[in-house]
Amino acid sequence: MTMANKKIPATTSAHFGLKSSSGHSLHPSSGTFGSQTDLLHVLTEVTPQSFSPLLCGDNGGSSNHSLRAETMSEEKILTKKIAEQFLEDEYSVRLSGYEKLDDDAADVLRRHTGRWLILRGLTELSDAAAESLSKRPGHLSLNGLTKITDSAAEHLSKHEGGVLWLNGLNELSDAAAESLSKHEGCRRRLLQKSDRSIPTSLAYTLHPSPLPETGLSLYGLKFLSDAAAESLSKRKDELYLKGLTSLSDAAAESLSKHKGYLYLKGLTSLSDAAAESLSKHKGGLNLGGLTELSDAAAESLSKCEGNCEVDLNDLPASAAQIFRDAWFHLSQEIAQQFLKDEDSVNLDDFTSIEDAAAKSFSEYEGYLSLDGLTSLSDAAAESLSKHKGNLSLDGLTELSDAAAESLSKHKDELSLNGLTKLSDAAAESLSKHKGSLSLDGLTELSDAAAESLSQCREISRWHAQDQDWGTLEGPFIRVVCGCCGQKEEFHLPTFAAGEAYATEDHCLEEEGWSQSEDGWVLCGDCN
């Protein structure tokens, strides 16, 4: 899966902004990814008591297991006595196994001080029980409920413990949505999300972050009315609506005003109007389930003002290309940000570079890795040739003769390991390069090109049948036996000319040399 994630650095404009400054998650996922929030949902269902059978075994901890058997009534009602037992020893009771909750038991559970209270087995909840549970601090999971009354929703809206999970709800009245929109979770975060900016315009994997400390999860909802969307848009933290498979233009307009992370991965398509609205959403936006998207909609979302996630592999080719052009392009603004703070930008994430950005790097001194670039204009090559320091362009698979001519003037180490072939003119130009030159990816080379490269001052490594044999200086490749230390040199064109470069013809084996399984280069006497 290739997830695209856009995240905008603080120093860049909203339009510049990932998959950020141009910052949007090909999350790897992206992520990527399912996604991190899917994993997060699973984790919230895990409690120490659910691990107890694994830790104790079938016989170990038998008293706890038998106690659970005794306390679990046939009707699966969580009584006050059971709740009190849970407060005394959480490992003795598995609350998620109960389907009903007595009001007095709920009043007992509000005194629970643990981080999580998992009641995902409940299929109904009285208003009185909801009021009691709302007073308990900590995350609250009620994923077994398929519906709640408006008054129960009103009570739960006052819950201040953290995330409120209601993933089982398959319907939500407008009044309940209005109430839940007021749910604030924690008034302060116990864990701060990483404030490290992802200044690249695309991240291939999801970047880890702590579990959310606030939020409302409604994974089970398949439909959201326009009025409910308007209410929920007032929330200022995580809002999970994974179950939605469609979204009206009016609902999208409302949700665009939501200030926190918005999870809409269940959507497979968006209208142009909905995409235009959601592009204005300023928090994180997960649209990783999209498989149908017009070019106009892609154009809108590519300018998303916040962090947006899509799966480029599942989108129409033209739409995916729009995202790539917008999120993978290394602009002058990003280049300037890198020059101010090298750790703020991972340049390898970009697949193309603006000529003005390359010009900015011409005055940079130090190691410069642009391995993500898959294309390079002649003007950009000319600018990069003036850079002082090692330069890596291993992502390039093609190089024009003019670009090769320019890069030959670069004075430090130059790595072009992504090239599989070179024209005679390009090889002639690169042979004049005065620093170390790495061309490990070459598989096709004419006799004339091989002859030119044999005159190269220094090629850091030269592969024969994908094996490291030695170093090449001038027209000779020099090898040293790892066993006896014998040294020998051979004329390069003899071993690298034409098609013989990628075959077993005219290679060092014919001279008795070999390479052992552990990588040692051995002479004929030590084989």
pLDDT by residue (tens digit) across 267-306?
999 999 999 999 999 888 999 999 999 999 999 999 887 7
Low-confidence residues of the chain, pLDDT below 70?
A: 1-75, 161, 185-213, 455-480, 482, 489-511, 515-521
Query: Which of these, 347, 344, 355, 402, lies nearest to 371 by C-alpha position?
Result: 347
Q: What is 455-519 written as a DSSP string? A: T-SEES--EETTEE--EEETTEEEEE-TTT--EEEEEHHHHHSGGGGGSSTTSGGGGT-EE-TTS
Structure tokens at 484: 């006896």
Q: Show the tokens assigned to 383.
A: 């600018």
State how far the alpha carbon of 482 is from the alpha carbons of 346, 509, 513, in Å: 38, 15, 11
**pLDDT for the residue numbered 492:** 52
pLDDT of residue 105: 93
| Residues counted in the chain | 527
pLDDT at 508: 59
| Nearest-angstrom CA–CA distance, 100 and 76 | 7
Query: Can you give the pLDDT at residue 437?
Result: 87
* Euclidean distance between CA atoms 357 and 371, whole angstroms: 15
> Within its chain, how far is the Cα of 43 from the centroid?
19
Q: Residue 183: which of 131, 241, 124, 236 has the closest Cα?
A: 236
The three-point CA angle 150-153-156 to 5° equals 155
- Biggest CA-to-CA distance, the chain: 91
| Of residues 182, 188, 115, 173, the one with CA closest to residue 155 | 182
Q: How many CB atoms lie within 10 A of CB 49?
A: 20
- For 350-361, letters b (16+ CB in 10 Å) and e give bbbbbeebbbbb
310 by DSSP, 3-state: which? strand
Q: What is the dihedral of CA 285, 291, 296, 302, to 10 degrees?
A: 40
Residue type, 97: G
Instruction: Tell if the pTM clears 0.85, that is, is over it.
Output: no
Strand partners of residue 118: 141
Does the N-terminal peptide bond of residue 30 adopt cis geometry, omega within 30 degrees of 0? yes
